Amino acid sequence: MWSFLILFISILLLLLYSSLIILYRIWFKRLVPFSVSVDHSPKTSFSVIIPARNEALNIYACLSSILNQEYPGKLFEVIVIDDFSTDNTVTIIKTLQTKHANLQLIQLADELQGEKINAYKKKAIEIGIRKSSGDWIVTTDADCSAEKQWLCTLDATIQFNQPVFIAAPVVFKKDKTLLALFQYFDFLSLQGITAASVSAGFHSMCNGANLAYEKAVFYEVDGFAGIDMIASGDDMLLMNKMKEKYPERISYVFSKDAIIATDPMPDLKSFLNQRIRWASKADTYKDKGIFFVLLLVYCFNVSLCLLFITALFNHQLIFLFFLVVLLKTVVELSFILPVLRFFGNTGAIWFPLLQPFHIIYTVVAGWLGKFGNYSWKERQVK
């Protein structure tokens, strides 16, 4: 009896999950690529905020891609907040400062003066915003690189759509390792959902590696107040606050020129810590649409694990288990293929082969995000 109850629940959740993925596909297919007109005149002043902790291997390439933007230098500044780095991060930044007058360095140690906090990244961004001069804040990470038209595309989006908050695309660089490939497809699906749902006005989703918001509105919604004790959420939780006040002025920029590229996590431990960190804020969203979607995804994957375990003892269910997983894969492929085409990459043949890993990882990361601790940037976080 229990075996067939689990089967029934799995099929029911499959139907709900498939309907959701098909809806995302419809929304994504409706998107029209945004491009900057040839006669476009830049107007927006930007402050690009980059928190950095022990990023000596990445910070030069990151800053070079931003400081060499095809955007008037007088209209943007770059503010790096050093988060207690113990490597050569600060030295590299100071060297670049000799060549770029619009590059500013802030050291978090000087600002905190020994104060212990849980959300160092939020504090770094908050301090950077306080000391910024631009009308718009743009955030990215120290291990990212930008296209040359990145800021110009954001400016055109601001002028054309009049938003207060912009979510923009991020992609993991492809690597040859199995772990990197897994991260690439997992993250790509999240980016596809972000593009589809934000454009449809359904979710408040974004990634802090590539977003922009009006500075005045940041202060209007009291910045990170109320979410400042949560280590993660400098992106989606802030976006949620702005959407509550300006529900019609949240934009997604669907443009290849706006893509930010970043490296995948180098090992399994750092990958799991990253995903647990993301999952840790799931029950803090005021946008209950996101919460119920995450709950559906989690429960569906749990049901698949339970169905597999049950099938080991009831061989009649083995075929049905693989059939459910096959249908799940087909539905997901129908969504991921157009997303792959937008980001200019192929390799979809690997997607079905990674399904078992994805099911297990979703269950583990979701559980630990709620009930466990994680380490991030050599810090233990609760």
Q: Best-predicted range by mean pLDDT among 18-22, 118-122, 236-240, 261-265?
A: 18-22
Per residue in 18-76, pLDDT (tens digit) is 999 999 999 999 999 999 998 999 999 999 999 999 999 999 999 999 999 999 999 99
Q: Is residue 261 part of a domain?
A: yes
Query: Helix/strand/coil (H, E, C) string of 168-183?
Result: CCEEECCCCCHHHHHH
Q: Please tell me whether residues 240 and 352 are part of one structural domain.
A: no
Strand partners, 82: 52, 107
Q: What is the mean predicted confidence (pLDDT) over 299-326?
A: 92
Per residue in 204-225, pLDDT (tens digit) is 889 999 999 999 999 999 999 9
Type of residue found at 340: L
Strand partners, 180: none
**What are the residues whose beta carbons fall under 8 Å from the beta carbon of 254, sequence distance 6 or more?**
31, 32, 33, 34, 169, 195, 199, 342
Q: What is the mean predicted confidence (pLDDT) over 281-300?
A: 80
Query: Could you give the number of structural domains in the chain?
Result: 2
Q: Average pLDDT, whole number, for the chain?
A: 90
Q: Is residue 275 part of a domain?
A: no
pLDDT value at residue 368:
79
Query: Which CATH number do you get for residue 125?
Result: 3.90.550.10
Q: Pull the structure tokens for residue 164.
A: 């207060």
Q: Is residue 167 part of a domain?
A: yes
Per residue in 116-165, pLDDT (tens digit) is 777 889 999 999 999 999 999 999 999 999 999 999 999 999 999 999 99
pLDDT value at residue 376:
59
pLDDT value at residue 114:
75
Q: Please tell me whether residues 107 and 200 are part of one structural domain.
A: yes
Q: Is residue 97 part of a domain?
A: yes
Q: What is the mean predicted confidence (pLDDT) over 233-251?
A: 92
Type of residue found at 81: I
Query: Who has greater pLDDT, 100 or 113?
Result: 100
Q: Is residue 282 part of a domain?
A: no
Predicted model pTM: 0.90
Q: Please tell me whether residues 45 and 106 are part of one structural domain.
A: yes
- The terminus-to-terminus CA distance of the chain in angstroms comes to 40
Q: Is residue 186 part of a domain?
A: yes
Q: Please tell me whether residues 77 and 175 are part of one structural domain.
A: yes
Burial of residue 378 (number of CB atoms within 10 Å: 0-12, 13-18, 19+): exposed
Q: Please tell me whether residues 59 and 181 are part of one structural domain.
A: yes
Q: Please tell me whether residues 87 and 225 are part of one structural domain.
A: yes
Structural domain of 347: 2-28+288-370
